[in-house]
Structure 1
Amino acid sequence: MILPGSTGDEPDTAQGWIALATQNYSDQDYPGALEAAEEAILLIPEWEGAWNVKSAALRHLDRNEEALIAAEKAININKSYSAPWFNKGEALLNLGQYEDALSAYETSIQLNDKYSNAWFGMSTVLINLGRYEAALKAATEAISLKNTLQGAWVNKANACIGLERYEEALAASEQAIILEKTDPGAWINKANALIGLNKNKEALIAAEKALSLDDNSVSGWVNKASALIGLDKNEEALIAAEKATSLDDNSVSGWNNKATTLVNLNRNEEALSAANRALLLEGRFRPALVNKASALVGLERFEEALQAADTAIDLDQNDYQAWSVRAMALVSLQDYDDGLESAETSINIYRNNSISWTTKGMALEFLGKLSEAKMAYETAILLPPPGDYARNRLAILLDPAGTEE
């Protein structure tokens, strides 16, 4: 820390103090920057630049309420100065006041549309608001102004993941890693993108890299669990999911991953409890509704399963897993025509899930359409996840002494 008087050359002007504050800030010496900025303010109380540096230093010291006051003081002195509007946005973002933060960033950009950090800040708050298209535009603008702004590449990847544009997310996360190899967030985004692309072995490597950089990263453990689920390593996935929830008991994705692994392990009472915990935290979290429905099917509570699946479908008509679970519940309730229709809807959305084909085969078999049932079972046994039901039913239907039509 460069402190006044430490070498006998204490600044004697406000300009000298603010130069010292700026130098300390650049050196990431935020206490020193704050002290020097306050000395400048004592000499020139209405200097917006000094109040702005004070605001920035306070932000980095996690004193966001004070940072907000300092930024607003700078704005009151000079409303056309873009930098304190940015610092106001940053302080509000850190305080979780996202709409107000967005307004501050927008004003900063209106005053200076070449301010890359303001575009970056805007992309961050838009991601927090779930407005991924707008976030992607803001992050892309930040990158166009400063292509070495690593955080903007991270945000671009985040926005693309939210939009399920996984190839773009992967490219952006890899660029973020090139710029900063030790950023766990960039590795987490890479893992997320790879999971979306069903490249689970690579995703597991990326998630483990993130955890090597930050072993307490909830997102890192969530992504590790997701990759392990994709690799059908459910016991290991359960350990990772439980680590995520131990670090953050309010991790919706952590509880949902736990539910997924428990469904896969046929531990349906526990799966239902985990899915309900996720839904308590976020009542319309679609993957947890699907897991709840799956657990209820396993518990032979078919009417409740149907209700949970229908709620998931209301949220996303293209959720093939929800349609698949719905089909299973309907077939179990002996509603074979509707069950067949739901199974076919699931298959039309995503053709490579064996459960949907197995359920289709079951419905067709109960409807007496045995040749079509055989074809469905033949498809099912070639697809993941593995299951014995389709194989066993196919063997019976192919047996000349069986019931083939």
Structure 2
Amino acid sequence: MEEFRRSYSRLCKESGSEPQEAVLQQLHQLPRGRLDLATQSLTVDTCRALGKLLQNQTLLTELVLSDCMLSEEGTTLLLQGLCANTVIRFLDLKGNNLRAAGAEALGKLLRQNQSIQSLTLEWNNLGTWEDAFATFCGGLAANSTLQQLDLRNNQISHKGAEELALALKGNATLQQLDLRWNNVGLLGGRALVNCLPSNRTLWRLDLAGNNVPSDVLRAVGQAMEHNQDRHTAFQETQTRTHLLSKEVQYLQEEKSKQFLDLMETIDKQREEMARSSQASAARVGQLQEALKERHSIINALKAKLQMTEAALALSEQKSQDLGELLATAEQERLCLSQREEKERRLEQQPSRAPHEVLLDPGRLPTAPNLLWLLLRRGRAQQELTNTSAELKIRVVQAEGGAHDPTPGGK
């Protein structure tokens, strides 16, 4: 509240006056939410400064200005500032001798202010001026927030009581009204009794010290008991409604939390399903690529197998041809061996004279024939050796390709 204190000093100096030391001291010791200036004689400049500060003040909820000897002008300035205030709930103006101007300012305050719930006006003279008090009652009828009103010792006559009765017919929020030690009398008491059936919220009305007959007081008491029972039932209903509202709010919050948890779980499941789908799609793609690769390998193996089978058939044909060639060569070799054997036998027989030796040209091989046989025999052996080696290499390659299913075995 130091800012409030500095602002008060600044406003007083701007108006050409010094701030009151007692007020500065109270502002320095200000408890939270409560400004108590009781018994401080507030000047008009102080009231003007406080009125300006109270227009936008949002920290104070209680304002005590009892026995401050407020002047008519000071009261008007203060109450004008309070008309725009939206946080003060309790206002105490006890013992300030408020008169006509004060009553009119209070009527305006009750019309415009929407926050004050308790108003203490004890020991003032509001009822002395009937027209001004009627203005005050008109503001009370239009008010929609005031719950407690203390009008003790305000010189309220039966005329003022009649104005209050009219105000109570239109007011729907006032719950407690203290009219003790006034001049209501019989007529004022009857006016109040007649207005009570139209008012369903007022459950406490004090009329002691007003020269009101006992039967009127009993009627007022019965009406108050009826309204009090209604008020009690209303409070119980409000309590139950509040509890039910809290329960409903709790259930709504719980349902909202469950719904949010469910939606979060669904979102997580969707994300998980999306990731699984992506992984499955990638896995399927990999499997398809692997399957295509396998198909390619199988096709390559089939082609290699066909080539191997063709090479094997060719090798078999060559082997058969070579076999036949070898058989022919072997036959020729046998024939040659037989001839050589015959020649050796002839050589081992007794020698004859050169002129006696008769050579059989058909039995002896000629030189070209013998050379041709030797060359043919060497070529056959070389070709047989080459063919056998080639056949072995092809058979090994064919066997190796058939057993190696991987691309590296091609």
TM-score under structure 1 length normalisation: 0.25
Structure label with greater radius of gyration: 2
Larger RCO (CA under 8 A, 6+ residues apart): 2
TM-score between the two structures when normalised by the length of structure 2: 0.25
